[in-house]
Amino acid sequence: MTQSKLLKKGYADILIGLQYGDEGKARVVDFLAKNYDVIARFNGGANAGHTIETKEGVKVALNQIPSAIFYKDKILYIGSGCVVNIEKLAKEIEKIKNLGINLKNRLKISCQASVVQPHHLLVDAEIGKTVGSTKNGIGPCYADKAFRMYGKRLLNIRLGDLLEDEKKYFENIKNNLVSAAKFYKLKTENPEIQIENLKSAFRLIKGYIETDTLFLQKKVEKGAKVLFEGAQSVMLDVTKGSVPYVTSSSTIAPSAFVGGDLSINYYRKTIGIAKAIMSRVGNGPFASEIGGKKSEEYCMADEGIKYNYEVEKKYNVSDFIKSNDDFKIGIALRILSGEYGTVTKRPRRVGIFDLVQLSYAIKLNGVNDLVINKCDLLNEYSRTKYKKIPLVVAYKLGGEKIDYVPGSSDTYYKVKPEVEYKEGFNYDISKIRKFEKLPKSLKDLAKFIEKFCGCKISGLGVGPKRDQFIKK
């Protein structure tokens, strides 16, 4: 029997966000997980911030562990393309255990995944401010992964190294901390205490580290079905996104097989997730932002802390949504859609549905199935001065139309979006579970999006709850 025939027993699908993050990837993973044997992460670290919900309505925020914890028979795999914050992962495991969920023999972490070291967190907090870093040390960790060594001192330390020789490599981690603090002239806590805390956390996770570098490969060879769960989103890709206002890892679909430790021969399809009310965290171009530059400056003031959820929830949403001021409309839509940072509660920048960008992301990633969340919130446009649903259908750059996302952030800031308005609706669709029962205007909108982007829509989110989803 030839190798090519052996490679066809199982398969892998990829699920990615098509915008700037927070598209609701986790709830779609949770919905689809029953059809797979393994849910796997391939990029990023403790900056993922995926939130899922139990049937009882209990919300669980996951940062590193894949979003299928409620399915007792599913393997949860963290691939070598991820970077692991040992202390946060230990706390996350304990949190899940306290929910009565057993991760033994389910959670598998690649021994080739790099460790987020204390100096990565220290450096990120200082120099990551300008790119909207989550301060989880992700960027510095990936940088050291590429840099490898400094003289005889190892910069990139992997989980497998710690398994091999704890004493040697924890001492190495301490030396990296001391050297970085000295180089960047940064204050740090007692390195000895930090290392001891790290050692304690490592003891809690070491039983989940998978030393077989072909673990996932062997599973699929025996017929396992894998769903790769992308962290962050494709418009934040370190190469293809709006550089430098991006994440530190590769978020696009092809990266799943590199960071997820599987042969590309098993690829089946890519599922892309978008949301009808867009948002973005941090600096960077956002062509469809409601309120434009004023909104960006407002959301970024003092990193958004000055105008957080606790402040904005006191605003009169009805007055704001009916305003002639785009800036106020944006605030109203943010409040209604809950677009605030999971941890910081800082406001996310809000924009109208950008089909030019969506089409670009679909083509770039070879998306086969499109899922659109937050469709229920489109009814809010009926209360605005727009009356209808606004969509970005073209960009103008220097007086010429373009149908792609510019490769330069400076250029992307200069594009002028062309907006087309589609018929809306003004009633609650959150209880609808069949596509045929949706208002005609929304069904027509779905057809328009499919034609514009050249991709079929396979699902629509019609509310924030776990079951408020329509499979098309």
Tell whether 421 and 399 lie within a shared domain.
yes
Domain boundary among 220, 244, 273: 273
The residue whose two tokens read 């139990």 is 54
**What's the pLDDT at 131?**
59
The candidate with the shortest Cα–Cα distance to 74, out of 213, 219, 211, 205, is 219
Tens digit of each residue's pLDDT (9 = 90 or more) over 232-258:
899 999 999 988 888 889 999 999 999
Tell whether 176 and 311 lie within a shared domain.
no
Domain boundary among 206, 232, 257: 206
Residue 135's CATH number: 1.10.300.10
Which residues are CB-neighbours of 455 under 8 A, at least 6 positions away? 272, 362, 367, 368, 369, 370
Domain assignment present for 228: yes
Domain assignment present for 238: yes
Buried b (16+ CB within 10 A) or exposed e, 71-97: beebbbbbbbbbbbbbbbbbebbeebe
**What's the pLDDT at 144?**
94
Domain assignment present for 278: no
Chain-centroid distance of CA 157 in Å reads 25
Tell whether 306 and 167 lie within a shared domain.
no
**What's the pLDDT at 151?**
86
Q: What total number of domains does the chain contain?
A: 4
Residue 251's CATH number: 3.40.440.10
- The answer to whether 91 and 63 have CB atoms below 8 angstroms apart is no
d(CA 42, CA 259): 4
Domain assignment present for 75: yes
Tell whether 381 and 344 lie within a shared domain.
no
**What's the pLDDT at 1?**
42
Domain assignment present for 279: no
| DSSP secondary structure, 160-184, as one string | HHHHH-HHHHHHHHHHHHHHHHHHH
Which segments within 81-173 are labelled E, that is strand?
83-84, 107-110, 114-115, 149-150, 153-154
Tell me the pLDDT of the chain (472 aa) as tens digits.
444 554 569 999 999 999 999 999 988 998 899 999 999 999 999 875 667 766 666 677 788 999 888 889 999 999 999 999 999 999 999 999 988 889 999 999 999 999 999 999 998 887 766 555 677 889 999 999 999 988 888 999 999 999 999 999 999 999 999 998 888 888 888 899 999 999 999 999 999 999 999 999 999 999 999 999 998 899 999 999 988 888 889 999 999 999 999 999 999 999 999 999 999 988 899 999 999 999 999 998 876 678 888 899 999 999 999 999 999 999 999 999 999 987 678 899 999 999 999 999 999 999 999 999 999 999 999 999 999 999 999 999 998 999 899 999 999 999 999 999 999 999 999 999 999 999 999 999 999 999 999 999 999 999 988 889 999 8
d(CA 40, CA 98): 22
11: three-class secondary structure by DSSP: strand
Domain assignment present for 280: no
Domain limits for position 217:
3-113+208-273
**What's the pLDDT at 2?**
46
E strand or H helix at 333, and its extent?
Answer: helix 326-337
Tell whether 132 and 188 lie within a shared domain.
yes
Tell whether 108 and 224 lie within a shared domain.
yes
Domain boundary among 222, 240, 273: 273
Buried b (16+ CB within 10 A) or exposed e, 108-143: bbbbbbbbbbbbbbbbbeeebeebbbbbbbbbbbbe
Taken in order 191, 192, 194, 195, the sign of the CA dihedral is positive
Tell whether 233 and 99 lie within a shared domain.
yes
Which segments within 256-319 are labelled E, that is strand?
267-275, 278-280
Give the predicted TM-score (pTM) of the model. Answer: 0.92
Q: Compute CA distances 250 → 8, 122, 234, 259, whole Å.
A: 27, 23, 8, 9
Domain assignment present for 241: yes
- The answer to whether 445 and 437 have CB atoms below 8 angstroms apart is no
Domain assignment present for 21: yes
**What's the pLDDT at 152?**
85
Residue 417's CATH number: 3.90.170.10
What are the catalytic residues? 22, 50
Tell whether 397 and 299 lie within a shared domain.
no
Tell whether 386 and 335 lie within a shared domain.
no
d(CA 419, CA 3): 51
**What's the pLDDT at 130?**
59
- The alpha carbons of the chain give a radius of gyration, in whole angstroms, of 22
Tell whether 230 and 83 lie within a shared domain.
yes
Tell whether 93 and 121 lie within a shared domain.
no
Tell whether 168 and 37 lie within a shared domain.
no
